[in-house]
Chains A and B, each alone.
Chain A
Amino acid sequence: MKYFTRLRVRRVYKWRGEPESFNRKLKTYEYRSLEISVEGLPRTTVITTGQHILIEGDDEDNPYVAKVIRLFGDESGKQKKAVVQWFVRVSEVPVSKLKLLGREPHRQEIFYYQSRSCDDEVNAESIIRPVQVKHLDGAAPFPDSDDKDTLYVKLSWDSKTFKVVDAAVVESQPAPASSPPPHPKPSLPPSPPCSPPAAAPASRGPSRRALPTPDPTIMRKAASGEVRYSRTTMSAGKAGPLEAESRHSVTKLSASKCLSDKRRNASARTPGVRKKLELSSADDMIPQDILSQLLDEEQEVMLAQRLSSSPPQALPLTHSLTPIRRAHTAPIAPLRISLKPSVVVLDKLSEMDSPPSTARDDSTSPQLDDVMDAEFPNGSVKTPRRRRNATPRRNCVTRSEQKATTPSQKREQKTSKEPALAVLPEVDNENSPMLTAAVTPRSSKRKSAQLVSSRIRKQLNLDNQQELNSDTEDEDEFVPSKKDLQSSEDEDEEEAGLGSDEEVAVKRGRRAAAAAGGRTPRSKQKTRVSTRTPRKTPSKKVTPSTPRTPRHATPSIPSRTLPARQPTNVLEEARTRLHVSSVPESLPCREQEFQDIYSFVESKIIDSTGGCMYISGVPGTGKTATVHEVMRCLQHAADMDEIPPFHFIEINGMKMTDPHQAYVQILQKLTGQKATADHAAALLEKRFSNPAPRKETTVLLVDELDLLWTRKQNVMYNLFDWPTRRHARLVVLTIANTMDLPERIMINRVASRLGLTRMSFQPYSFKQLQQIIMSRLNKVKAFEEDALQLVSRKVAALSGDARRCLDICRRATEICEHSGADPSATGLVGMSHVMEALNEMFSSAYITAIKCASVQEQLFLRAVIAEFRRLGLEEATFQQVFVQHQALCRVEGLQPISVSEGLTVCQRLGACRLLLLEPSRLGVLQRVRLNVSQDDVLYALKSE
């Protein structure tokens, strides 16, 4: 019997009890619990809502973890369904993202899953058994027990960032079954009385309520946990701009339509950050506008106008989001920096609407509060009562959490949780703005929040005293007076190096963001740049900074001590821009191809289906660059939630040693596992063929496809077969040089799977090449018009290879620079320089080589020609040529050379490939052929 169960467990699922309710619309019965019994065993397991369960997945060892939210069945009772809240295991988080965690994940650790990209309705029959899930504080160590059935939750994961998750979300019984909480909003983390974030909202509205006396214990805690403030405001600051950005994108009709527009925008900003900052600044401006009409800079006005093209009522809502976010991210941040940042927000706000003197001592400015209340009159009406009830309990939870964090651990946590910031925007987008708005004022009016506000004020005084003790960094950030604050901000700006000529609005926005964010701008810049740098492909987005284990060590070239020098003159500038490696802001002349690939991939991602595309073209026609550009744009769109998130991985046939390594590389990039080729193939097969409720679309770029050819073609077969599977959600883009590769090297079943989605990149025409150079130079005037045309015409006639074109231009700038001594020269690269470069690159050196050869070598070449003429053939043995050579020596009055010497001469010519020789072991019998035309040889010898 035991034997049997082990072999194949058959479970029987039964509803327990009567249905709780009946949904007429959907015709479903809600149940409270489900009974699972294993056939042949008397014991039954009962699953009730709110319990954590394991669900069958593709990995038998690691079934999915989820919490039951709702159980329901259809009228017939045949279908049993469950609505669940997913948790992700460590193994399910992409490796590249795991680095965001900043520490080694625990074996038994799981993450609260906050992304909506997957279906939360599962078949109840896939439930295996209940499991124990425990919530742990951010700082608490993982228990040492080896109990496999207990899993631990510390953080949430939304496919982009990790965030601290609240115990209430994990452990408490769920909200009423009617409203499944797929995202954290409804189950708001608490804003405890001591939690600083609540301070911000509270500070806005305390005028109407009496301030309770602060509890001394809480005061103490607040003092130790001052970081929290910065933490929360940080997220608030971040959330603002991101929100704005996503709204900005919403105004556009479709991503692909606006692409060219976007790209134009993109070219205007250098780092990816700029645009966002602009928007954030504008966003901050708007409340400003509403509040006090204090706009003084033209650009800001313009930006505001630009933004106001989006639905006008959205603007105040966004603004109002800030406090709530502050509130609900509160527990996320058991961190320490200083109190200042949150104060800064207040500063900022008060600066906007009232004389700055009132700014902080008395952070409650009544007008502000009134304004806000007036703005959201409907807010209080719509707030669900439930929420208010929930608050106190959660407060308790956080309080205990706070106790757990000892000061020594805080620093560590801060670093580890930094990336969690980006979580918010997504969540916000998923909520309807109305809901968010409704929640906002309510939370800001919570009693507890007000409690905190008063404490904060006390806290400020405390901090003043503490300032002396805290380290320098903290000192920097804790700025008691507004003037200091300003100056520190200015410093920040300088540090960030953003003081370019862009808009002042950028600065302002930045200042606002920095102030609101309260974290050092440097770190902010870093995080942003790392995620958004346009130069990097999405897959490389998060590179590990330091290897943790020797096994995964990724060594790097030692860094240089002196920074690379920046180009100083026009020619150097031009040369840098013309280097193939410098990624241009846009790819001109490939708009159509870009559009096609973009819409192909986009549609596949949106429909969550799979597909293959074959891209061909001779080298240097921008195939890989275009695909990368598409991926950048799509990644950007995914970041802004215009399309579902996807995973981009890239393999290159040339960068692997064996076609079967493709499996290994794909698997490693997908999951981080290391496996042998066969095992990897099996794992991938399983991954792509089994249904999984939670799966992102994978976009796979296979470069240099022809090198993946094997005799049985199984690598290619699999690559093209996976996308056709129902549950694969795999898009494969393949690149190779030859247009007819599928017909030429693929057997029918492979070619058929590849499908007919083909695209071919034509070699660039001379006009396109010219345009490419022009766009790269981007108004740097370094070339004469004619010179450019000559290069592009020459290259277009030969190959249409853009790389060649750029290389020639680069060489021409060098030649120009060296001949720069000539005073008559304009300093521009002219025809003569280009001609010289072309000659250097395209002319063969055979004739020069013959001219520079020694006397005997020249004589030998002549003997070869003489012998060829005598024989009437283009081939002779050395022996025959040598006879001629001896004769020629006598004619020339030279001492005849020995056979050994003759052979040496012959070998030297053969090494230069002026002659083609047979292997030298044949001695005098080896046959000799010319590798140059006879005319060339005669010409070279005559002209001497």
Chain B
Amino acid sequence: MTTGYTAFLLLCVFIRLHFQVQKILRERFCHQKLPEKPEGVEAQHKHLLELLKRTAIHGESNSVLIVGPRGAGKTMVSLHSGLKMGLCVEMPEKKMNCIEVCLLQTDDRIALKEITRQLHLENAVGDKVFGSFAENLAFLLEALKKGDRSSSRPVLFVLDEFDLFAHHKNQTLLYNLFDVSQSAQAPVAVVGLTCRLDVLELLEKRVKSRFSHRQIHLLSSLTFSQYLERVRAQLSLPGSFPDSKFAQDWNGGIETLCEDKSVEEVLQRHFNSSTDFRSIQMLLMLCLSRVSVAKPTIKPADLLEASRLCLSDAKANMLHGLSILELCLIIAMKHLNDVYEGEPFNLQMVHNEFKKFLHRKSNSMYNFDQPVIMKAFEHLQQLELIRPVDGSSAKTQREYQLMRLMLDHSQIMEALQKYPQCPTDVKQWAMSAFG
């Protein structure tokens, strides 16, 4: 009796700890919190920090572009630096206004409103955000013009997805921000984040001239061992975990997991495909969701399964849901593609191909009427497995509209392998060299 009760209590504690693990790790993978210190990009981070420091301390206006591929940590670096500037303990007085504008601001008008809002300037006009774009621009420029180097608080503008701003009309916002940064007005630091290496070519010449041409490239040269180390760090529990025994066990489990040969292979494959850390977080998240009270550790099998889910081909998966008729049409299209070397086809051609197959087999099982085939064809089009050739107008009848197949042969073959209860003759037809 007592042993049973103790066991129950132990189980309760265990369950609680388990939930805590889930919580910590899930937050780590999904919340995208700013890390304590930037990893892998220390040099660039220092560079940016120096630059912002000069804006903050000396009131010197600057503009800089941070260029790096997706997931390289551009936003992290810039926000980290901005935050450090704003909250740095040694200089609490030199707070910066950190303005972040990004993808959501699809044109200058919205971006300006957002800037005004973030600068807390909208109160100056009696609590109403005023009407026209022109007024708004004049208002903001006036505000910035009134400041000067020594007395105004520096403002940090972070322009996320900088290249999209370059597509705004006349690049008005960029021109004005850079112009402020190049004239004796309120000190500003304009930080543009982009993943385009050719972003300077997008700028208009006078905008370009006003930009200081500083670029910080965030190009990670991560090795596999470092990558592995980061995976381990991501999965490990922190030292502050309440039950140290549990934490030790968990961390030990992670150690063994990472040393597993198959796990290493999976990770290597992910590493080869992308050094970006966000993809691995995705993978680890899938792993974590397979952990339960009944199965309290991550097994190599979990990782393999998660990896399979991650890397699976979306289009091939879609093929699994098709009917036999639709699959047959796809196979017919594949044959047509083989015969005509990728030339477009229309429904009539596909139907003919299909009829040839039926004749050979002399099996009435797949005898469908024209409307039924038409319907199946349309369904394929809706799934975007086939798409009409550009430029073919709606004038032509649907049966004769030219189409292209959006699938690779390997995808079709893979799907056929896995298709449940696929008729053998269909399989053979697909594999045969001629239709």
Contact = CB atoms under 8 A, between A and B. Distances in A.
Contacts of B132: 657
A922 to B, nearest CB: 8
A912 B139 contact: no
Nearest to A561: B93
A818 B196 CA distance: 28
Given A655-B137, A855-B272, A913-B198, A558 B153 contact: yes
Interface stretch (B76-84, B180-188, B326-334): B180-188
Most buried by B among A581, A658, A856: A581
B316 A898 contact: yes
A801 B125 contact: no
Interface in A328-375: none
A900 B315 contact: yes
B144 interface: yes
Contacts of B208: 619
Contact of B172 (A562, A581, A583, A657): A657
Interface in A851-867: 851-857
A707 B170 contact: yes
B214 A841 contact: yes
Interface string A810-826: 11001000100000000
Interface stretch (A152-160, A458-466, A636-644, A901-909): A901-909
Interface stretch (A277-285, A777-785, A923-931): A923-931
A667 B223 CA distance: 63
Most buried by B among A707, A901, A905: A901
Given A560-B152, A581-B184, A618-B205, A554 B60 contact: no
A559 B153 contact: yes
B121 to A, nearest CB: 5
A656 interface: yes
Interface residues of A, number: 89
B346 to A, nearest CB: 17
B176 interface: yes
Interface string A842-878: 0011101101111111000000000000000000000
Nearest to A583: B184
A856 B272 contact: yes
A564 B149 contact: yes
Contacts of B67: 845
Interface string A913-937: 1100000011111000001000000
B175 interface: yes
Contacts of A704: 206
B290 to A, nearest CB: 22
Interface string A635-679: 000000000000000000011111001001100000000000000
Contacts of B312: 898, 900
A689 interface: no
Interface string B384-417: 1001000000000000000010111011000000
Contact of A913 (B61, B93, B134, B196): B196
17 contacts: A557-B144, A560-B93, A562-B94, A564-B58, A566-B58, A579-B61, A654-B175, A655-B137, A655-B172, A661-B134, A844-B197, A852-B219, A886-B410, A900-B312, A901-B311, A911-B70, A912-B69
The 5 closest A-B pairs by CB, nearest first: A555-B124, A619-B209, A564-B59, A852-B219, A562-B93
Interface of A: 535, 540, 543, 547, 550, 553-567, 572, 575-576, 579-583, 618-620, 654-658, 661, 664-665, 704, 707, 737, 799, 801, 803-804, 807-808, 810-811, 814, 818, 840-841, 844-846, 848-849, 851-857, 879, 882, 886, 894-895, 897-901, 904-905, 908, 911-914, 921-925, 931
Given A550-B124, A899-B316, A923-B384, 18 more contacts: A556-B143, A556-B152, A557-B144, A557-B155, A560-B94, A560-B153, A575-B60, A580-B182, A654-B175, A654-B179, A655-B137, A656-B137, A799-B209, A810-B212, A845-B217, A905-B273, A912-B69, A912-B195
Interface of B: 50, 54, 57-61, 67, 69-70, 91, 93-95, 97, 108, 119, 121, 124-126, 132-134, 137-139, 141-147, 149-155, 170, 172, 175-176, 179, 181-187, 195-198, 205-206, 208-210, 212-215, 217, 219-221, 269, 271-276, 311-316, 342, 384, 387, 404, 406-408, 410-411
